[in-house]
Amino acid sequence: MDLPFQIAHVKAPPIKCQGIKTKLLPFIFSSIRWEDNGTNRWVEPFMGSGVAVLNLVPRRALLGDTNRHVINFYQAIQRGELSGESVREFLVCEGKKLLAQGADYYYEVRKRFNLEGSPYDFLFLNRSCFNGVMRFNSAGEFNVPFCRKPERFSQAYITKIVNQINWAARQMRGKDWQFRVGKWSDTLSEAKEGDFVYLDPPYIGRHVDYYNSWGHADARMLAQVAKKLLCGFALSMWLANKYRENTHIHQYWYGLEVRSCSHFYHVGSHESLRNEMEEALVIKPGFAASATAEECSAIPPRSKQLLLALP
């Protein structure tokens, strides 16, 4: 699908995580200019939930993440090993056990998952953990507590998940999508002229680390590497909230074009992370879709300095 793209209805992926871009995709897809000619690739070094690529449906894609469970999950769908039918059977069975045993069974599955890494258990935990948070400890173990809803897997909820699995499988069918477990730098090293890189790293200054550490040094390095790419790229990052502005953008992503919009987060471990946020999409010059006068006037004053040419 070529960009810009006015998406009428964004569909949710089968897995959830904090920072998911479901409600931001219309803003993102309408702000980027890229031609999907069948030879170039859509590249995501921080694939996360997969919501962007599943809704864009490029013909070719390189999708990376350090979270092996996310990659294993989508590879299982791609190979047909995890299907809507098999997921329904699994969740009906496991849902009955959860209803009967409550939190004890949730923690039994969590222990099993941390030992075996089943994509089915991953889905179960992702949809029955506290507030849809995806979080792992330093040992790589899923450590989110139970959502305290033993009746979580009702027939209607299972059907919703099954439909999402089937939809994801259809989106992948016939496409050349490669899923990789690896560092963002390894994925970016394969980006070529004509590709487009969408960057959705953990938000610096926000407590959303979902698999391994991400600090200021990592964020600075990403900016340095991205600016040297031969292809187009766009970065999603928080710009400001009612308390403060993200100085990281002004320090390390200067010289690029920025678009912004207001967004409200509903997924997060703390109430302080579930509030209105000014979101930025920082775009390499030459790859931003034409902005209307209304959109240009909506750019916050401090963000306009990002429109300056590189020194």
Alpha-carbon distance 249 to 247, whole Å?
A: 5
**Per-residue confidence (pLDDT) for residue 1, from 0 to 100:** 86
Tokens coding 48: 């996360």
- Percent residues over pLDDT 70 in the chain: 86
More confident residue, 53 or 202: 53
Q: Is the pLDDT of residue 303 over 60?
A: no
Q: Out of 18-27, 54-63, 66-75, 279-288, which region has the weakest mean confidence (pLDDT)?
A: 18-27
**Per-residue confidence (pLDDT) for residue 212, from 0 to 100:** 58
| CA dist list (Å): 60 to 49, 53, 74, 281 | 18, 10, 15, 23
Q: Using the 8-state DSSP alphabet, how is residue 240 labeled? A: E
- Count Cβ atoms within 10 A of the Cβ of residue 194 and give its class: 0-12 exposed, 13-18 middle, 19 or more buried: middle
145-178 per-position pLDDT tens digit: 999 999 999 999 999 999 999 999 999 999 999 9
* Confidence category of residue 133, pLDDT binned at 50, 70, 90: confident
Query: 121-145 in b/e burial notation, b at 16+ Cβ within 10 A?
Result: bbbbbbbbbebbbbbbeeeeebebe
pTM of the model: 0.88
76-168 carries CATH number 1.10.1020.10: yes
Q: Is the pLDDT of residue 213 over 70?
A: no
Q: Is the pLDDT of residue 245 over 90?
A: no
Structural domain spans, the chain = 22-66+182-307, 76-168
**Which among 142, 149, 137 has a CA at the least distance from the CA of 121?**
142
* Confidence category of residue 243, pLDDT binned at 50, 70, 90: confident
Q: Which fold has domain 22-66+182-307?
A: Rossmann fold (3.40.50)
